[in-house]
Amino acid sequence: MDTGGFVDEKSESRLYVGNLDLRINEAALIKMFTPYGKIISEDFLWHTRGPKKGEPRGYAFIQYSRKEEAELAKEKMHGRLACGKPLVVRLASEKLLEDSTHDHSKRLSLPEANRARFASGSSSGQMSRDEKVAAIKNKLKALEEDEKQRDPKKQKR
């Protein structure tokens, strides 16, 4: 696939980390990803204006010194719970390729609960009302299961 020269060696060792809980700060993020290799930079994004000014945006980028380190971190951290939310970790170049091709089949790395959004076959990625309801029900079910795992007392309901 021709990517128009967008993917270079640096982008292959750069990770996108999404679905970050607002309680996760830069230091915690670095601590979580350091075991997988040498981090040479991180970009933790913040809201710069509006009512959320100064709050985290919920995603960041981490640059490793080597491609293999980034791939290991992606493999180990994607889907891992952090503050009760599953992390979305992928190579930044994958996100770039996904955006440039608009091919929804490349979204296979999304958590299972979010896949229904792209299963409709619509090229625009829009969800029907029924799909939205099903996605909300799946999300609520996942949240309830997560809550039950954290608090066994709530299993009696």
Task: State whether residue 33 is helix, strand or coil.
Answer: helix
Q: What's the chain's average pLDDT?
A: 77
What's the sign of the alpha-carbon dihedral 75, 6, 3, 95? Answer: positive
Q: How many domains does the chain have?
A: 1
Token pair, residue 56, equals 């985290």
Has residue 121 got a pLDDT over 50? no
106 domain-assigned: no
1 domain-assigned: no
What pLDDT sits at residue 141?
A: 78
Q: What is the pLDDT of residues 51-63, one digit of tens each?
A: 999 999 999 999 9
What pLDDT sits at residue 88?
A: 96
126 domain-assigned: no
78 domain-assigned: yes
Residue count of the chain: 157
146 domain-assigned: no
Q: What is the pLDDT of residues 16-53, one digit of tens each?
A: 999 999 999 999 999 999 999 999 999 999 999 999 99
Question: Which tops the pLDDT comparison, 10 or 70?
Answer: 70
- Residue 24 contacts residue 36 (beta carbons within 8 Å): no
CATH number of the domain bearing residue 67: 3.30.70.330
